[in-house]
Amino acid sequence: MSHVERDFAGRIRQKGYRMTPQRQLVLDVLCAHGGHTLANDVITAVQAQSPYLNRATVYRVLEFLCALQLVTRTEIGGQVVYELAEEETHHHLVCRLCGYAAEWDGRALTKLVDHLLAEQDFQAELNHLAISGVCGQCRLGGDP
Amino acid sequence: MSHVERDFAGRIRQKGYRMTPQRQLVLDVLCAHGGHTLANDVITAVQAQSPYLNRATVYRVLEFLCALQLVTRTEIGGQVVYELAEEETHHHLVCRLCGYAAEWDGRALTKLVDHLLAEQDFQAELNHLAISGVCGQCRLGGDP
DNA sequence: GTTCATGCAAAGCGTTTGCACGCAT
DNA sequence: ATGCGTGCAAACGCTTTGCATGAAC
């Protein structure tokens, strides 16, 4: 699915902000890359197409897009990663050994959230969780 | 409970490393502070007692203590925090609004871990989780 | 025409590194 | 006496900031 259909420009203008080539380009890159993207990778990819686009601008655009909730910002293993915000909540299973991140719908989390609210009076916000561990392949393979 | 009883010196020497005043001091500070401690807070507290102890040394000591698993390192909301490793696993419920972090034994997590292993072939490592959300008080109080 | 967004360069922050000295063993 | 651990200072990488220019509305 192309992100063009999601009408980011409209959503940005609707809130009184301006659509610019820079913002479009960052959105393009996040869409093309898919999944978690490092700020640095965004910068590299963006500059491959438009060399004079500044790093500071990319940071500002990412911050802006996060504020509008068009993009999510997550920390995984000390790395900050960005991703286009999806409609459905989803989560990531990140293998400590090979770095592979599987998606996971997290349906099993609802019980946990209910439990925390009932027993701990705590409203957990688990919209975009990254769970660390070891994937099946690495567990069988030992470490290379 | 004083951490002296836990014989950190013995555990360090047992593995062929040396006990030094610097390492002792960092352990003292982590014990006195209790709970999550920022690297910067460790440095400040340590230097209050021994002004010439270097920042770089504190970082090296913390890294060393983590490698020996005497100290845990966790990321919460973009902050890296250190804490004396406890025998029992425990977790933290961090309120996004007031920053308050409640402890939680995480017994309800075992079902989740079992589920992930069975359904996703993924061995989750949830030894020291920090769950973000909103605590009861902030939920009732609105935002001040 | 107004205002918001960008480019540039510089500084900021927390953290890491190289090297020589000093102390625990 | 040996070599691990420290102090110092400098550099590092990532990110943020101030200001003048330029583009979107």
**Residue A34 domain-assigned (yes or no):** yes
- The answer on B108 and B79 residing in a single domain is no
CA atom of A56 to C1′ atom of C12, Å: 14
Residue B60: burial class (beta carbons within 10 Å; 0-12, 13-18, 19+): middle
Q: In the structure, what pLDDT confidence band is assigned to residue A1 with cuts at 50, 70 and 90?
A: very low
In whole numbers, what is the pLDDT of chain A averaged over residues?
Answer: 86
- The answer on A80 and A95 residing in a single domain is no
Strand partners, B103: B92
- The answer on B16 and B62 residing in a single domain is yes
Q: Give the type of residue at B112.
A: L
Q: Which domain holds residue B32?
A: 8-84
Neighbours of A92 (CB within 10 A): 21
- The answer on A120 and A67 residing in a single domain is no
Residues of A with CB under 8 A from a CB of B: 75, 78, 80, 93, 95-96, 102, 104, 108-109, 111-112, 115-116, 119-126, 131-136, 139
- The answer on B59 and B12 residing in a single domain is yes
Q: Give the type of residue at B36.
A: H
**Residue B144 domain-assigned (yes or no):** no
What would the two tokens of residue A80 be? 């900050």
| Per-residue pLDDT tens digits for A50-106 | 888 999 999 999 999 999 999 999 887 778 899 998 767 788 888 877 777 788 888
**Residue A3 domain-assigned (yes or no):** no
Residue B47: burial class (beta carbons within 10 Å; 0-12, 13-18, 19+): middle
| Per-residue pLDDT tens digits for B56-94 | 999 999 999 999 999 999 887 778 899 998 767 778 888
Task: Tell me the C-alpha distance between A139 and A117, whole Å.
Answer: 34
- Interface test mutation site (partner B, options A123, A125, A126, A140, max chain B beta carbons within 10 A): A123
Give the total number of structural domains in chain B.
2
- Cβ–Cβ gap B120/A104 under 8 Å: yes
The pTM (predicted TM-score) of the whole model is: 0.81
CATH number, domain containing residue A106:
3.30.1490.190
- The answer on A79 and A14 residing in a single domain is yes
- The answer on B68 and B41 residing in a single domain is yes
